[in-house]
Chain A
């Protein structure tokens, strides 16, 4: 777990005079599950947009999957996946159509898409759903599929935004098992969430406040450091504005 897939050093992002990211430095390793936390408005979205090649830093060094955020944004985009709870799949397309569409967007060969499609349907026990509309699927199945689609092209890093919000406790745990399995294959998982019990599943977490990273460690070490029993309490102690 030593190879760095995200390297951020002294990252600053300003919008006019507003400093959204104030001198951030952190690294994330291959296959690591990294939780990126912060209150609303702390600056997380700005960082994620930079890490996914959608926005350029004002200053500082940022490398994602070995590519430079200033000059190689297109290569970065090809090497990442993204899933958010609110929107990931087209509801009025079928399961198969979504997979074929995303495979095409990622620039995958037709033969490879076909292969991944059948692998995926088998792995998720999804065969009977192949030609069903996404809107007809229960939420739990949609989330599993959305995650599989986000890693369809075997990216180096996948960004997950509140991945398990609102699902039942069993489905949620199945989802985390899938995440562990994916991480064990060397794909880095970058999770943002408001729900601190999701943070407890991460290998390491960072907590952002007013554009700065104010804590970064394993959940266990942070709980020890603040002498509390949950990440939620850590968060409330240090992120209360």
Chain B
């Protein structure tokens, strides 16, 4: 299979801070590849290297078969980049921004309209409006339209859904899914684990290291222990009690319940009994399927 990106041993430091620590991965053509990790994990640094805006300290990279250091001019023509910070011209209208980006890349809006029509049609009724006056969801759609207007082979989206409400986020992922038919490779970063499921493959990234690369399904099934949910009306007491319990290996709050793993030889039944002894009588213990976030927590606990 042809690779859209191949990275090997990439490191980048800023002073004493190691932003990326010897990371390697590859992205297939036409896949949606997610980098999932908290702020400060190195996602933006990596995206800046991929887009030729930053030179790594060491390692090699090929993006669309090109070297981002020596072939950056050709490479940039083929990349659509949506940075984390909204960076369109706020004092231009919607239409002016789109025309501007088309012109910079030597094309016209008409030529590639088909590619953006699904997305742009939502904001086209407001095309005369100043970009600074758009809502968050509309700005995001315009930014995506501008990143796509030159028909790039690789679309790079740095935290496109941060600060956007749940409805707009869901619509945004639907739009990315539709771009697949145009054979565009998409790399996207997000701090939100629940978005992993929308990607073909994800890399979990933390402190400049990639912890795991796999399909969302395989990341979940990589969870190595049996997982239980424990629920009680007295949440805080439950947390404290679980932490003290020698049968409990890990215990993390997940919404209205706790996700718990047990030491070898322990059972949910003996856990329930232990909780009753500590005065928690309403605890309900169920076996559960691990999610991406459970696996992320497990990988974070393991010494690197």
- A residues contacting B by CB (< 8 A) are 38-41, 138-139, 165-171, 173, 176-177, 180-181, 183-184, 194-197, 200-201, 218-220, 231-232, 235-236, 239-241
Contacts and interface: CB of A to CB of B under 8 A. Distances in A.
A209 B290 CA distance: 33
B303 interface: no
26 contacts: A40-B136, A40-B165, A40-B168, A41-B135, A139-B40, A165-B162, A165-B191, A168-B206, A169-B38, A170-B252, A173-B252, A173-B253, A173-B297, A177-B236, A184-B236, A194-B164, A195-B166, A195-B192, A197-B255, A200-B255, A201-B256, A232-B194, A235-B167, A239-B167, A240-B167, A241-B167
- Most A CB contacts (10 A, CB to CB) among B165, B252, B256 go to B165
A220 B233 CA distance: 12
B255 A166 contact: no
Nearest to A170: B300
B81 interface: no
B137 interface: yes
B246 to A, nearest CB: 20
B265 interface: no
Nearest to B169: A194
B193 A169 contact: yes
Contacts of A235: 166-167
Contacts of A165: 162-163, 191
B217 interface: no
Given A41-B135, A177-B239, A166 B38 contact: yes
A104 B95 CA distance: 50
B137 to A, nearest CB: 7
B118 to A, nearest CB: 18
B223 interface: no
Contacts of A170: 252, 297, 300-301
B94 to A, nearest CB: 18
Interface string B22-49: 0000000000000001111100000000
Given A40-B135, A169-B193, A176 B253 contact: yes
A166 B168 contact: no
A164 B112 CA distance: 39
B96 interface: no
A194 B172 CA distance: 15
Given A194-B169, A219-B255, 11 more contacts: A165-B163, A167-B39, A168-B206, A176-B253, A180-B239, A184-B237, A194-B164, A200-B254, A201-B255, A235-B166, A241-B167
